[in-house]
Structure formats: C-alpha cells, structure tokens
Amino acid sequence: ETGVTQTPRHLVMGMTNKKSLKCEQHLGHNAMYWYKQSAKKPLELMFVYNFKEQTENNSVPSRFSPECPNSSHLFLHLHTLQPEDSALYLCASSQEATGRYGYTFGSGTRLTVV
C-alpha cells in the first residue's frame, strides 16, 4: 500500500457507458495527477491538479472529465470511450506540483473498453 488508493482495480465498459475512476491519497500531498499507461508506451500525463485546481490538461479528449473536490480525492469520469482508450490509468500524488520530491503512484485501474 503506497498511500494512494485507486478503485476499481479493473473495469470493463461498453462504448456507450458512463463510469468513474476514483483516487484517494492519505499522504497529505497537495498535487494529484492522472496518467495513462498503454502497452509499450511511456506514461502519458493527462491532468494535473494543484490544491484542487486544474493546472494542466495535456490535450486530453473531452470524453475524459476529471474532478478534484479536495486535495485528497481525484476522479476521472468516463463517457463514450473508444476501444483505444483501453489502458492502465494511474493516479499519482506529490507534495507539491513542482514534482521536486517525486510522485507516489497508486496501483492503477485496468480499463477495457468493449
């Protein structure tokens, strides 16, 4: 247990479904991140939140909608996804958004879009 908890661990959804991924950190960090990890690709940064304000949207399609109600919780709302969106979605947190102390990752949600 790293202190960053993601649920669910696995998710299968149809292209017309709406689902949400949840991330919670118990480390007192102020910044939270969503990453996408596809096979044989580097980790792709999707969104950055600092003190619950979005500071980065890395050209992510609007079918992915993040929400950060407070510094400890981060959601990724999903709707009308495509099969190519199937991947491991990782949440991370850090003390501050500069990343100067590294990131702590959760175990990820394995998403399959059918």
Binding-site ranges for another protein (CB under 8 A): 2, 4, 6, 40-43, 45, 48, 56, 90, 92, 97-100, 102-108
Name the minimum Å distance from CB 43 to another protein. Answer: 4
Nearer to another protein, 10 or 16 (CB): 10
Name the minimum Å distance from CB 13 to another protein. Answer: 20
Question: Are the C-beta atoms of 69 and 52 separated by less than 8 Å?
Answer: yes
DSSP character at residue 1: -
Name the minimum Å distance from CB 99 to another protein. Answer: 5
Phi, psi of 102 (to 5 degrees): 80, 175
Give residues with Cβ within 8 angstroms of 71, minimum separation 6. 29, 30, 32, 51, 52
Nearer to another protein, 42 or 69 (CB): 42
